[in-house]
């Protein structure tokens, strides 16, 4: 029998390695011959560790499995496939959470052994690169433009246009770079990590294609240090790709070169901002640079550089293999393709949901998420990370689309969705928004560095003066002015977007600012 047990951070933190040990121990006492494959997670995190048995009819899933369950599962006939054990979930592909998704980028997540080039190739791996090697640079860029792909880090800038800028950039020194932003720092997000741990070859292939498209022979993955397992898996995947001739000199006998290395960050949220990321990559302190010049023209070491998020680069192999139009066929309006939504916080079924743009937040929270984990009513949802707005229930029917969100004063960001139930104190959440900025500001500009500290103080006064209307109103006015200064006067999104959570909390949950709070630290 072939058994799949994930090796990614989520599954391992929930006991996947202990499950493997228990299996090996149990099976050493009987003569059953089994092969254990350490795949990546399917992204159905509430079912991890999710164990799958390969059968003639496809894979049968069991989850969440703990080491203590193993003897009973073996007794129930798990190795033969479907059993009547309560942890048996039936065919993996039929689990509605997975079946109802539109998985383009995450099609292979959990299906393959992340470190097996053969497995990757057997599932359309390197088809995009193969095609790209037969095209010229402009044709590759045109394919990406046709896909309508927009930056999945959060800013949604058209990827094809960014690549065109780098392709056209003239420079005395011909060296150009591809930099992958894998400093996934938004609250509740894990899609980048899932790509790197479940299907790292896809990212490698995407970066290699980007290199061919713009004429860059060197790439760096800037990875947050909080992802040690992703680092291990990426390093091993890069070594295999070099050995198999998909990276390094003379890729697949084409005469083209592309080299790739992983670099670790040091735990600063601001290093996810592209210019401070580049500073950090150059070995300096992660201070934001003023734009212009754009990194596309003067980026890493002053050279033309593509800086793309993991998910943007991970979408590229599909786009090249199947054609830009195949990707553009999904989505709505100017939001083409799919988005990897990440359900987290107080939610019953947390995990990754890849869907075409256009679904609603309510669908995600109810149909996929299954409501709150606490069983209480959901009250607020923060979409797009710590700088994203809090949405009340009246906004949960908005289509998940860049433009619709921006019209509603919200952002989709990197697709992180953090749910809160009705015990949340939104005044404290607003305070946290400012406090986060105090801690994470790079310090370069005053509205962000000083403004956020003043913001915490003003919110504290608002909470303390809840019953003194005159003083509270004066402080609310001050907070409004402060937010305006931060929005208009900050150099980057850190200071510029911190007012999002604060203002949305005030606008949609004013009652929480009117009562004396007992939870103030």
Tell me which residues in 189-218 interact with ligand SF4 (CB under 6 A). none
Q: Find the angle CA(304)-CA(311)-CA(430) to the nearest 5 degrees.
A: 100
Binding region for ligand SF4 (CB under 6 A) out of 211-219, 304-312, 324-332, 487-495: 487-495
CB 340 within 8 A of CB 311: yes
Distance linking the first and last C-alpha atoms of the chain:
55
How far apart are CB 28 and ligand NAI at their closest, in Å?
45
Q: Please give the Cα distance from 290 to 407 (Å, whole number).
A: 27
Question: What residues numbered 257-286 form the site for ligand NAI, per CB under 6 A?
Answer: 272, 274
* Region 125-164 residues binding ligand NAI, contact defined as CB under 6 A: 151, 153-155, 157, 161-162
**What is the per-residue DSSP string for 386-441?**
TTSPEEEGGGTTSBS-HHHHHHTT---TTSEEEEEETT--HHHHHHHHHHHHHHH-
Q: Which does residue 298 bind out of ligand SF4, ligand NAI, none, counting CB within 5 to 8 angstroms by kind?
A: none
The owner of tokens 């309560």 is 86
Q: Which lies closer to ligand SF4 via its Cβ, residue 178 or residue 448?
A: 448
Helix (H, G, I), strand (E, B) or coil at 130: helix
| Distance of alpha carbon 319 from alpha carbon 168, whole angstroms | 21
Compare residues 372 and 490 and give the one whose CB is closer to ligand SF4.
490
The tokens for 34 are 């089994």
Q: Can you count the helices (H) and strands (E) in the chain?
A: 23, 16
Q: Kindly state the tokens that stand for 456.
A: 């915490």
In angstroms, the CA 512 to CA 429 distance is: 10
- Indicate which single residue of 6, 40, 495, 499 sits in contact with ligand SF4 (rule: CB under 6 A): 495
Strands 177-182 and 305-309: parallel
- Residue 288 near ligand SF4 by CB under 6 A: yes
Nearer to ligand SF4, 488 or 511 (CB): 488
Min dist CB 430 to ligand SF4, Å, is 18
Using the rule CB under 6 A, which residue among 444, 472, 503, 508 binds ligand SF4?
444
Number of residues binding to ligand SF4, judged by CB under 6 A: 14
User: Cβ 448 to ligand SF4, closest distance in Å?
Assistant: 3
Of residues 181 and 490, the one with the C-beta less far from ligand SF4: 490
How far is the C-alpha of 188 from the C-alpha of 380, rounded, in Å?
A: 14
Separation between Cα atoms, residue 25 and residue 47, nearest integer Å: 23
Nearer to ligand NAI, 5 or 493 (CB): 493
List Cα–Cα distances, 294 to 162, 303, 307, 315, in angstroms: 10, 10, 10, 23
**How near is the Cβ of 119 to ligand NAI at its closest, in Å?**
29
| 77, 333, 443, 516: residue in contact with ligand SF4 (rule CB under 6 A) | 443
Closer of 418 and 476 to ligand NAI (Cβ): 418
The entry of ligand SF4, ligand NAI, none that residue 24 binds, CB within 5 to 8 Å by partner kind: none
Stretch that binds ligand NAI, among 49-57, 111-119, 180-188, 439-447 (CB under 6 A): 180-188
Contact residues for ligand NAI (CB under 6 A)?
A: 151, 153-155, 157, 161-162, 165, 184-186, 272, 274, 294-296, 307, 384-385, 387, 411, 413-414, 492-493
Contact residues for ligand SF4 (CB under 6 A)?
A: 270, 288, 441-445, 448-449, 490-492, 494-495
């Amino acid at each position: 029998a072939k058994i799949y047990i994930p090796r990614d951070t989520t599954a391992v933190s929930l006991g996947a390695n202990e499950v493997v040990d228990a299996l090996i121990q149990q099976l050493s006492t009987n003569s059953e011959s089994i092969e254990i494959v350490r795949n990546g997670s399917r992204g159905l995190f509430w079912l991890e560790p999710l164990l799958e048995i390969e059968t003639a009819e496809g894979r049968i899933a069991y989850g969440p499995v703990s080491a203590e369950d193993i003897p009973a599962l073996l007794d129930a006939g798990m190795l033969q496939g479907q059993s009547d054990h309560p942890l048996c979930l039936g065919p993996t592909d039929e689990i509605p959470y997975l079946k109802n998704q539109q998985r383009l980028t995450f099609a292979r997540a959990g299906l393959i052994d992340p470190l097996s080039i053969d497995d990757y190739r057997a599932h359309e791996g390197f088809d995009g690169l193969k095609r790209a090697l037969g095209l010229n640079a402009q044709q590759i860029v045109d394919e990406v433009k046709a896909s309508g792909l927009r930056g999945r880090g959060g800013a949604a800038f058209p990827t094809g246009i960014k690549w065109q800028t780098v392709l056209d950039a003239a420079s005395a020194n011909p060296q150009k770079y591809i930099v992958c932003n894998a400093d996934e720092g938004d609250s509740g997000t894990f899609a980048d990590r899932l790509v790197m741990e479940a299907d790292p070859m896809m990212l490698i292939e995407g970066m290699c294609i980007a290199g061919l498209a713009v004429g860059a022979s060197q790439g760096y993955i800037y990875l947050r240090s909080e992802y040690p397992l992703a680092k291990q898996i990426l390093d091993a995947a890069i070594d295999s790709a070099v050995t198999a001739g998909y990276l390094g000199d003379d890729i697949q006998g084409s005469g083209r070169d592309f080299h790739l290395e992983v670099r670790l960050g040091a735990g600063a949220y601001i290093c996810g901002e592209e210019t401070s990321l580049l500073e950090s990559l150059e070995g300096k302190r992660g201070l934001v640079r003023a734009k212009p010049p754009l990194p596309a023209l003067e980026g890493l070491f002053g050279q033309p550089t593509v800086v793309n998020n993991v998910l943007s680069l991970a979408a590229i192999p599909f786009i090249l293999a199947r054609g830009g139009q195949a990707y553009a066929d999904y989505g709505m309006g100017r939001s083409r393709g799919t988005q990897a939504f990440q359900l987290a916080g107080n939610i019953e079924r947390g995990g990754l949901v890849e869907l075409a743009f256009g679904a609603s937040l309510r669908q995600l929270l109810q149909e996929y998420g299954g409501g709150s984990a606490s069983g209480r009513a959901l009250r607020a949802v923060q979409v797009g990370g710590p700088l994203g707005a809090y949405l009340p229930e009246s906004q949960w029917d908005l289509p998940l689309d860049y433009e619709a969100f921006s019209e509603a004063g919200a952002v989709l960001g990197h697709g992180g969705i953090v749910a809160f139930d009705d015990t949340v104190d939104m005044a404290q959440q607003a305070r946290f928004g400012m406090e986060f900025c105090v801690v994470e500001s790079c310090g370069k500009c005053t509205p962000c560095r000083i403004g956020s500290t003043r913001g915490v103080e003003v919110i504290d006064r608002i909470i303390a003066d809840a019953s003194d209307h005159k003083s509270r109103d004066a402080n609310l006015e001050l907070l409004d002015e402060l937010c305006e200064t931060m929005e208009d006067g900050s150099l980057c999104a850190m200071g510029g977007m911190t007012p999002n959570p604060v203002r949305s909390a005030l606008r949609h949950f004013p009652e929480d600012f009117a009562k004396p709070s007992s939870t103030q630290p």
